[in-house]
Amino acid sequence: MLRKIIMLMKSGLRDIIEATGGTFDILEEFSQLSPRRKVLLCDHLFIEGRQAFYNTIELLWPQSNQDEAKQLEKFLFSLKYKH
């Protein structure tokens, strides 16, 4: 399941990144993570719970805000339930 999520992330993330501006973009930052860290974030969201997910985002990207974290959460859920 997680491999499927990662494959979907790679295919759709570039289109999303190109459509955004040049400021901090959590989706772009997520795309730059190693596969292990991407899986870690997905595990935190889908297994450990939202609070673990938000705490990890805060550690990885202190400059992010709650809206950006929510954007990444929605993106990951959309990939999970795409098929």
State the average pLDDT for the chain: 83
Model pLDDT, residue 16: 53
Q: How do the domains of the chain map onto residue ranges?
A: 2-80
* CA–CA gap between residue 24 and residue 1 (Å, rounded): 29
**pTM higher than 0.85, yes or no?**
no
Of all helices (H) and strands (E), which one includes residue 38? helix 35-43
Enter the DSSP assignment of 82: -
What is the residue whose two structure tokens read 């719970």?
49
On the question of pLDDT at 17 being above 60, the answer is no
The pLDDT-based confidence of 10 (bands split at 50, 70, 90) is: low
